[in-house]
A and B are shown apart, each in its own frame.
Chain A
C-alpha cells in the first residue's frame, strides 16, 4: 500500500492478557516511531527505530512494553500483562529521513483493556 498500515484497527484485551500491535511502514522509510495517544490528548512518544536499530525507547512507560523491527521494515509493539491504563490509541509513523520530523502516520490501533 501507499501509506502506513496498522493492524488490528481495534483490539479489546482482558486485563492481564498480552497483545501485539503491528505496523507496516511505507516501503523504504528509514525511521519508524510509535506513539501512544490518550483520549483528548496529543500523541506521546514511545520509541524510535532507525532501520532495525532501536535508538530511543525512553518513552516506553514500563518494562511491559516492548517494540521490535527485526528486518528494518515491519514493526511490532508488544504489551505484556495489559492493564486498564494501557487503553489508548497506538500510532505508528514512518519517515524517509533519519530522525524525521516530517512523518507519515497510520490510522492507529485502538486498544481497550477491560
Chain B
C-alpha cells in the first residue's frame, strides 16, 4: 500500500476555503485516493474518493494532478463544525482492505 504524507495540523477561520494536500509518491496504477473526516468520539466518515483530475460532491472537492503523486482536499467556506481530523488514504478499491490511515491532519477552524 502506498504511504501518504500530510500536514499534522492546520488552522483556519470560518468562511475561508481550506486546502489540505497529501503526498503519495508511490501510488500504484490501480490505487484510488480517499479522504475521511473524524470528529472526537466518532468513527471516521467517508468524504470523497477519486482517481484522477477533479471530483466534487456536496461536501468537498478533490484535486488530483496528472502524475497522481499528490492530491488536495478542498473544503469551501469552512465553519466551526468542520474542526476535525482529516485522513488521506491510498489503496486499490478492490483489494485495499488493509486501509492505512496514518496520523491525519488536525484542522482547527476559529471564529
Contacts and interface: CB of A to CB of B under 8 A. Distances in A.
A74 B1 CA distance: 28
Contacts of A107: 41-43
B49 to A, nearest CB: 6
Interface of A: 4, 31, 33, 35, 41-45, 48, 50, 55-56, 58-59, 91, 93, 97-108
Between B34, B43, B46, B91, the greatest number of chain A beta carbons within 10 A of the residue's beta carbon is seen for B43
A99 B43 contact: no
A100 B91 CA distance: 9
B44 A45 contact: no
A97 B94 contact: yes
Between B89, B92, B93, the greatest number of chain A beta carbons within 10 A of the residue's beta carbon is seen for B93
17 contacts: A42-B102, A50-B97, A55-B97, A56-B97, A58-B98, A97-B93, A99-B94, A99-B96, A101-B89, A102-B34, A102-B46, A102-B49, A102-B93, A105-B42, A105-B44, A106-B43, A108-B43
B88 to A, nearest CB: 10
A91 B36 CA distance: 14
A91 B92 CA distance: 21
Nearest to B103: A42
